[in-house]
Amino acid sequence: MIRIELKNFKTRAEAPVLNRELILDPVCVIRTEDNDLASSVLTAMLGMGREHSGEILIDGIAVQELILSEPLPRIFGYVFAHGIMLANLSLRENLLLPYKLIKDNSADDTFEDELAIWMERFELIVDLNLRPSMVKPSVIKILSLIRAMLFNPRILLLDDPYYLLDQKQRRRILTVLSELRSTQHMLINSSDDDFCIGFAKHSVEL
């Protein structure tokens, strides 16, 4: 179980002050009518965004201290609502570059095998030599999730998991996340019933 505390936290000047506790046991879902608010909480955990104020503590340790203690992808696996990849690199390079930076010398020996396992789990078939602009946004979204999972992050941060996905892809991602939820700590921003009802032991409305 991981305890996340928001203390006097504001995402922007006009936003409400948040003093909340988020319990990841191992999954917590954030429900809110203001999607930007929940998204801002997730990005603030990565040290991103300049408008927020207040503190975020993870098991009593300030996020700013935590992200200095070890490589960020090992702490947080963040999947943006749109998925993000560098346009000037191939899909494979987008996945391999951060992997090599973190895994160092072992990267070449393990990358292809681990990637193949995750792509099979998501039933994803795509030419990884293509550039991001040449594939559907939904593929970028799924590959972004795979990239995050390659690092075995302590906490998986998912911003609107169903966004951009078709019905088949939604069923698949729900299946995979359901398989992971017994061991993988997750903080999910979603208003979809599949996540808000029964998926997590804890849900919080902001």
Neighbours of 23 (CB within 10 A): 16
pLDDT of residue 139: 98
| Residue 61, helix vs strand vs coil | strand
pLDDT of residue 105: 63
Helices then strands, each counted (H, E), the chain: 8, 9
CA dihedral 72, 27, 193, 172 (to 10 degrees): 70
3-class DSSP state for residue 13?
coil
Q: 194, 122, 187, 193: which is closest to 158 by C-alpha?
A: 187
DSSP H helices in the chain? 35-45, 63-69, 72-75, 91-103, 107-121, 137-149, 167-180, 193-196
Residue 148 and residue 102 in contact, taking contact as beta carbons nearer than 8 Å: no
Render each residue's pLDDT in the chain as its tens digit; 206 residues.
Answer: 999 999 999 887 777 899 999 999 999 999 887 778 888 899 999 887 667 889 999 999 999 999 999 999 999 999 999 999 999 999 999 999 999 888 776 667 789 999 999 999 999 999 999 999 999 999 999 999 999 999 999 999 999 999 999 999 999 999 999 999 999 999 999 989 999 888 998 889 88
Q: What is the pLDDT of residue 91?
A: 98
Sequence-separated (6 or more) residues with CB below 8 Å from residue 118: 146, 149, 150
**2-205 placed in CATH 3.40.50.1980:** no
What is the rounded distance in angstroms from the CA atom of residue 152 to the CA atom of residue 160? 20
The residues, any chain, with a CB within 8 Å of residue 50's CB and separated by 6 or more, are: none
Q: What angle is formed at CA 22 by the lines to CA 188 and CA 76, rounded to 5 degrees?
A: 55
* Residue 24: closest CA among 187, 194, 193, 205: 187
Domain boundaries, the chain: 2-205
pTM for the full predicted model: 0.93
